[in-house]
Structure 1
């Protein structure tokens, strides 16, 4: 069993690399440049704990391929991240398998601080049919990064999923394998009076079941018990805003609590 971490530049040249049997840790002692990426390689698909930077929480992810890359964000792409992340000339990166207890625990199965916009092999993964002005600060991935600050908007830690004020907007979180869910929590942005809020949304699951839920104007989490067994994704759609002058409503976090099916 071999785990490996490599930092590469835009041309694919390896700038640093390490490998290990059980736990790989790479200390990279150079500043990043645009186009740099971190390549993670594992012996087989499964559950892994991944840290892309010491200023970002470790992520328990489910990998469906033996390799993936994380692109180091710059400029607009960096806005949703902690401004201390990926800066300076000393970076801590790590990779190791999750324990059976970690992988099988009842927890928020939607959280993934290292989700990327076009990711295909790292789960959970969020995507949407609308993102405000196609700006990273409003990408769907922000709604599963684990950060729940919601009383302002814009720069970190207030990145959200912005639905571009579209009534047909939907956000989906894919788990990559069947899971059993017993609660969905929605944290909505509460930057009043800048913001509007949703009074009603639909929770739709991969098994075809839909649950309509109701919300109030609040900066607190909206909690909804569900019974969704063996589902591979959950979608939030049919967004109904309150009768308020503001056109803006946004989702700070979508949390889905349960365990592997």
Structure 2
């Protein structure tokens, strides 16, 4: 059984629908209010679920570590700047949650992709977090680096949201997969709003066992791919970011992709 709910800030259930494998909420003449949240409940912890909680957010495959996952409706102006202006707007809404098939769970793909990631760890994975985010501005949150968007010739609000490091030399970003995965390739899209931006010439990729790889990066606008020896890890961290010697103090990361597959135990 899988359930999708809309609750108010007091936890009162406003709308609810359940089904065996997939469910939805269809709302008409219903505008969202401050403090409301969407809740997904599953029959067991550790389920993989396809979620699409708003028409303006791409469908995402997430691992839910517990049986209840909350997603606050995005109404605050600071948060909305990193999303389409249409996000959670209007009075007609359609939300879906569907259990993933075994084929979908274990197929080779970008394991870092999660357009429904939030700033804090809410128990849905993959999840991106960092030790710095510029001015606590949503357009520079770590989650932007795994939202699937690679537009990088500008910076700031949607569609150019990125991970910004606020000039911090020890900045690092981690992608937590929620469980062990097998990975063999990554792709980086560096923000390229030149000459406003700078870029990194070298970065270090670290795995959960402490193993590190030094990667050489450039000011290329597209994806920069790096093939890896296949390895098991539950997370990856990008750190030791070496900036190019130029006048701009603003290197940034638009997107990070990690390719591989989940493993069966």
1:119 maps to which of 121, 125, 146: 121
Match of 2:136 in 1: 134
Q: Within 5 Å, which residues of 2 pair with 1:67-86?
A: 67-74=68-75, 75-86=77-88
Of stretches 250-259 and 21-30 in structure 1, the one that deviates more from structure 2 is 21-30
Q: Alpha-carbon deviation of 1:120?
A: 3.5
- Structure 2 residue 12 is matched with structure 1 residue 34: no
Alignment RMSD: 1.0
Alignment partner of 1:252 is 2:244: no
In the superposition, the TM-score normalised over structure 1's length comes to 0.97
- d(CA) in 2 for partners of 1:194 and 1:115? 28
Q: What's the TM-score, normalizing by structure 2?
A: 0.96
Inter-partner Cα distance in structure 2 for 1:79 and 1:32:
17
> Given the alignment of the two structures, is residue 10 of structure 1 paired with residue 12 of structure 2, yes or no?
no
Counterpart of 1:106 (choices 101, 105, 108) is 108
- Asked whether the equivalents of residues 179 and 232 of structure 1 are also in contact (C-alpha less than 8 Å), the reply is yes
Q: Which position in structure 1 is the counterpart of 2:179?
A: 177
Answering whether residue 162 of structure 2 is matched by residue 163 of structure 1, we say no
In structure 2, the partner of 1:61 is 62
1:14 CA displacement: 1.8
Moved over 4 A (4+): none
Q: Distance in 2 between matches of 1:230 and 1:197?
A: 29
CA distance in 1, matches of 2:156, 2:124: 26
Give distance in 1, aligned partners of 2:247 and 2:74.
35
Deviation at 1:228, TM superposition (A): 4.5
Task: Indicate the SS of the match to 1:234.
Answer: strand
Q: Answer yes or no: is the 8 Å Cα contact 2:70–2:122 preserved in 1.
A: no
Q: Deviations 1:224-248 (Å, cap 9, x if unpaired)?
A: 1112422000000000110111100
Alpha-carbon distance between aligned partners in 2 of 1:142 and 1:108, rounded to the nearest angstrom: 15
How many pairs are equivalent? 260
Q: Greater shift after overlay, 224-233 or 161-170? A: 224-233
CA offset digits 1:89-110 (Å, max 9, x no partner): 0111111110111110100000
User: Contact 1:53–1:93 (CA<8 Å) still a contact in 2?
Assistant: yes
Question: Which consecutive residues of structure 1, in runs of 5 or more, have no partner in the other structure?
Answer: none
Take 2:236 and 2:122, find their aligned partners in 1: how far apart are those partners?
17
